[in-house]
Amino acid sequence: SPVAPPFRHRPRTHTTMHVHPLTLIVASAVVLVLVPALAAPSRLPLCPKCEEVRGASKACKGASGEDKIICDVLVSVCSFFECPINEVADHLPASDHDGDKFSTDFGLRGYAWRGKDCDDHAPEIYPGRRSVPRGTDAAADYNCNGISGRNASGTYEELFCGDKFAPQGLILLSDSTGAHFDVPLRPAHLPEWPKMLDTELDWPECSWATAWEDDVKRCDGPYILGHVDSIYKRLVERNRCNLRDYQNIAVNGMRSGPMAAELVNTTARHKETDAPALVLLAEVANDVCNPHPGTSHMTEPAAYKTNMLSILDQLDAMLPPNSNVVFFGYLHGEAYYQAMKDKPYPFAGITYLEAWEFVNNQTVGAKHGDARTLNPCYGWLNPNATLRAFTSARARALEAVYKDIIATKHYASFDMYYFDLPDEDIIASWAAKGGNVADLVSQVGGVHPSLVGSTLWADAIWTILETNIPHVLGPVNPHNAAITAMFGDQGGHGDGR
Domain ranges for the chain: 20-38+48-496
From the list 176, 323, 392, 413, the catalytic residue is 176
Please tell me what DSSP assigns to residue 31. I
Phi, psi of 364 (to 5 degrees): -135, 165
At 14, the pLDDT band (50, 70, 90 cuts) reads very low
Residues 436-454 have a mean pLDDT of 92
pTM of the model as a whole = 0.86
pLDDT, mean over the chain: 86
* pLDDT, average across residues 315-323: 99
Contact between 437 and 343 (Cβ < 8 Å): yes
pLDDT at site 85: 39
- Read off the pLDDT of each residue in 330-345 and give the average, rounded to a whole number: 96
Q: What is the 3-state secondary structure (H, E, C) of 110-162?
A: CCCCECCCCCCCCCCCCCCECCCCCCCCCCCCCCCCCCCCEECCEEHHHHHHC
Whether 377 has a pLDDT exceeding 90, the answer reads yes
DSSP per-residue letters across 227-280 = S---HHHHHHHH-GGGTT-EEEEE-TT--HHHIIIIIGGG----TTTB--EEEE
Question: Would you state the pLDDT for residue 72?
Answer: 53
Cis peptide, bond prior to residue 222, ω within 30 of zero: yes
Per cent of the chain over pLDDT 70 is 82
Taking each helix axis as running N to C, give the angle between helix 385-408 and helix 301-318, from 0 to 180 degrees, rounded to the nearest 10.
40
Residue 164 burial (C-beta neighbours within 10 Å; 0-12, 13-18, 19+): exposed
Catalytic-residue membership of 176:
yes
Q: Write out the H or E segment, with its range, that includes residue 352.
A: helix 352-360
**Mean pLDDT confidence for 148-175:** 97
Q: Tell me the per-residue pLDDT of 265-313, one tens digit each, with 9 for 90 and over.
A: 999 999 999 999 999 999 999 999 999 999 999 999 999 999 999 999 9
Helix (H, G, I), strand (E, B) or coil at 105: coil
pLDDT of residue 185: 76
Residue at 102: amino acid letter: F
Strand partners, 415: 324
Q: What are phi and psi of 222, to 5 degrees?
A: -70, 165
Strands 169-174, 246-250: pairing kind: parallel
At residue 473, φ and ψ (nearest 5 deg) are -90, -15
CA dist., res. 315 & res. 247, Å (int) = 14
Check if CATH label 3.40.50.1110 holds for domain 20-38+48-496. yes
Number of helices and strands in the chain (H, E): 17, 9
Mean pLDDT of 398-417: 99
More confident residue, 386 or 83: 386
Q: What is the pLDDT of residues 216-271, one digit of tens each?
A: 999 998 999 999 999 999 999 999 999 999 999 999 999 999 999 999 999 999 99
C-beta separation of 426 from 453 below 8 A: yes
pLDDT at position 105 over 90: yes
Residue 471 sits at the vertex; the CA angle it makes with 468 and 476, to the nearest 5 degrees, is 115
Q: What is the dihedral of CA 103, 105, 109, 114, to 10 degrees?
A: 50
The candidate with the shortest Cα–Cα distance to 286, out of 214, 443, 164, 181, is 181
> For 18-75, how does the pLDDT look when each residue is reduced to its tens digit (9 = 90+)?
344 444 444 544 444 444 433 443 333 333 344 444 444 444 555 555 555 555 555 5
